[in-house]
Amino acid sequence: MSLTYQTLYFNQTLDHLQPWSPSSPIYSEKYLLNDEHYGGGPFSTPDCPGPIFMYAGNEGPVEGFWPGNGFMQDLAVKYNGLLLFPEQRYYGTSQPTDTSDPSSPWLLTTQQVLEDYVDLLSHVKAEYSAESCPTIAFGGSYGGTLAALLRSAYPFAVQGALASSSEMGYYDVDAWESQDVDEFTFADIVSAQYAKEDGCLENIWAATDAIEAASPSDLLEAFNFCDEGALKPNKSSIFIYGLEGLAQLNYPYAIGDMPAWPVTAACDILGDASSPLLERAAKATAMSIDYSLDGDCLPSFEEGPGNIPGDGPGLTSWGYQSCTECLHEFSSRGREDGGIRPFVYEDEIKDLTDLCASLYGDDIAPNTHTLTDRYGGYQIARGTSNTIFSRGLLDPWSGGAIKEGGADASQRGVHFFAMENGAHHLDLRGANVADPKDVTETRMQEEEIIVGWIQAAMDAA
Residues of the chain short of pLDDT 70, as ranges, are 1, 21-23, 98-104
Strand-strand pairing, 387-392 and 160-164? parallel
- The pTM for the full model equals 0.96
Task: Write down the pLDDT at residue 100.
Answer: 52
Query: In the chain, which segments carry CATH 3.40.50.1820?
Result: 6-172+376-460
Residue length, the chain?
A: 461
Dump pLDDT digits (tens) for 344-390: 999 999 999 999 999 998 889 999 999 999 999 999 999 999 999 99
Cα 164 vs. chain centroid, distance in angstroms?
9
Contact 285, 223 (CB under 8 A): yes
Please give the CATH number for the structural domain made up of 180-369: 1.20.120.980
Contact by Cβ (8 Å): 34, 62: no
Query: Rounded CA gap, 387 and 161, in Å?
Result: 5
For residues 452 and 415, is the Cβ–Cβ distance under 8 A?
no
pLDDT in tens, 23-68: 678 899 999 999 999 999 999 999 999 999 999 988 999 999 999 9
Q: What pLDDT does 81 receive?
A: 98
pLDDT at res. 103: 53
Across the chain, which distance is largest between two alpha carbons, in Å?
Answer: 71
Residue 257: how many CB atoms within 10 A of its CB? Answer: 10
Return the pLDDT at 225. 97
| Cβ 306 vs Cβ 233: under 8 Å | yes
C-alpha radius of gyration, the chain, whole number:
22
**In 326-436, alpha helices (H):** 345-360, 370-375, 380-383
From the list 265, 264, 284, the residue with the least C-alpha distance to 222 is 284
Closest CA to 204 of 341, 23, 92: 341
Helix (H) or strand (E) holding 112: helix 110-127
Q: Where in the chain is the domain with CATH 1.20.120.980?
A: 180-369
Residue type, 55: Y
Segment 242-266, tens digit of pLDDT: 999 999 999 999 999 999 999 999 9
What is the rounded CA–CA span in Å between residue 82 and residue 49? 9
Contact 339, 191 (CB under 8 A): yes
Measured in degrees and rounded to the nearest 5, phi and psi for residue 56 equal -90, 50
The neighbour count for residue 454, using CB atoms within 10 Å, is: 25
User: Residues 6 or more apart from 178 whose CB is under 8 A from it?
Assistant: 378
Residue 146: the pLDDT is 98
pLDDT of residue 98: 57
Can you give the pLDDT at residue 96? 87
**CATH fold label, 6-172+376-460:** Rossmann fold (3.40.50)
